[in-house]
């Protein structure tokens, strides 16, 4: 069989702590996740490695035989990782897109910490970001989180970003200083980048359900500049552009804040709990210090995001 290093690491932690709960705390996992890893390891080996009791856990005869080579295996694995991931390497950050708010957040962090080296990666959101974190190809990812994650992943809110209305000068709302959600009901929100199953498509579906938005996801998308050109000639369509999104100036496009309530896109920063990159705590502290809380009297979030913010998701 092919050994799962995560399961082997869980076994060694239990052998050291003699308790599933203490091992789970050491690994930054839930006790259920540790139990599943051990069950998978024992099933693969075809033998019980641990005695489970009310007061703790102990090694079986096979477990005692398995422990020394298990320690050696983990030591070799850690050495292999260290050989290619020096502590002084750049912090690898998945920002989702170069024009989006996470890029600006990282730019501001770098300006405040010019000694830090950073590698920017643009991926495809939560689905690829979590995989990249678990595989160790990035240290940090930004995404919207509206449900449970792998217990090995830690996260904290980074930004609640207001949305703007973007439309051609011929749109009936283009001359307004502010636009309200109710005024958008008979216009078409053009979103060719709304990939089915993505966290942003789910966000807009929640917005549509609450405010009666008409969404047209038809494409393909040939980039933001092309979308602006199309909108400039269409009096019935509009798009959303987040407040910190870098939208190129276009003579035929009006950009207007959405209010009453202000829709917010919730960005979280994610990292692997066991990641020990020395810059990671500084980045998390920087983002947490700049985070502004949700105002229910003025702002809107999907119900799932509110539950996550309140710690009940």
**pLDDT per position as a tens digit, 33-71:** 999 999 999 999 999 999 888 778 889 999 899 999 999
- State which residues of the chain have pLDDT below 50: none
Domain CATH for 58: 1.10.10.10
| Same-domain pairing of 214 and 283 | no
| Same-domain pairing of 80 and 210 | no
| Same-domain pairing of 151 and 9 | no
Confirm whether 313 is domain-assigned.
no
Q: Which of 214, 212, 203, 189 is nearest to 302 (CA)?
A: 203
| Same-domain pairing of 15 and 74 | yes
- The pLDDT, as a whole number, for residue 82 is 65
- The pLDDT, as a whole number, for residue 172 is 93
Confirm whether 304 is domain-assigned.
no
Q: Which domain holds residue 16?
A: 5-84
- The pLDDT, as a whole number, for residue 196 is 77
| Same-domain pairing of 186 and 240 | yes
| Same-domain pairing of 164 and 154 | no
- The pLDDT, as a whole number, for residue 191 is 87
- The pLDDT, as a whole number, for residue 139 is 95
Confirm whether 303 is domain-assigned.
no
| Same-domain pairing of 153 and 284 | yes
- The pLDDT, as a whole number, for residue 126 is 83
| Same-domain pairing of 127 and 197 | no
Domain CATH for 269: 3.40.190.10
| Same-domain pairing of 141 and 281 | yes
């Amino acid at each position: 069989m092919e050994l799962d290093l995560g399961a082997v690491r869980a076994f060694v932690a239990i052998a050291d702590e003699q308790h599933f709960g203490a091992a789970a705390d050491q690994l930054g996992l839930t006790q259920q996740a540790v139990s599943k890893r051990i069950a998978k390891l024992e099933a693969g080996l075809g033998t019980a490695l641990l005695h489970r009791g009310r007061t703790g856990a102990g090694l079986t005869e096979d477990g005692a035989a398995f422990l020394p080579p298990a320690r050696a295996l983990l030591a070799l694995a850690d050495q292999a990782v260290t050989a290619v991931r020096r502590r002084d390497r750049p912090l690898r950050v998945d920002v989702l897109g170069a024009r989006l708010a996470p890029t600006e957040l990282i730019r501001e962090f770098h300006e405040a910490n010019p000694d830090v080296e950073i590698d920017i990666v643009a991926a495809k959101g939560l689905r690829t970001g979590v995989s990249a974190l678990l595989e160790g190809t990035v240290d940090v990812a930004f995404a919207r989180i509206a449900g449970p994650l792998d217990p090995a992943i830690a996260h904290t809110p980074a930004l609640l970003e207001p949305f703007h209305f973007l439309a051609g000068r011929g749109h009936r709302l283009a001359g307004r200083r502010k636009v309200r959600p109710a005024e958008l009901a008979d216009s078409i929100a053009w979103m060719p980048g709304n990939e089915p199953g993505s966290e942003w498509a789910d966000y807009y579906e929640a917005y549509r359900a609450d405010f009666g938005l008409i969404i047209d996801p038809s494409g393909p998308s040939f980039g933001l500049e092309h979308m602006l050109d199309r909108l400039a000639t269409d009096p019935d369509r509009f798009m959303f552009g987040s407040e910190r999104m870098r939208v190129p100036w276009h003579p035929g496009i009006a950009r207007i804040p959405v209010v009453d309530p202000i829709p917010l896109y919730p960005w979280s920063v994610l990292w692997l709990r066991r990641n020990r990159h020395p810059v990671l705590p500084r980045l998390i502290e920087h983002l947490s210090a700049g985070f502004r809380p949700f105002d229910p009297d003025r702002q809107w979030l999907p119900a799932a995001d509110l539950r996550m913010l309140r710690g009940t998701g």
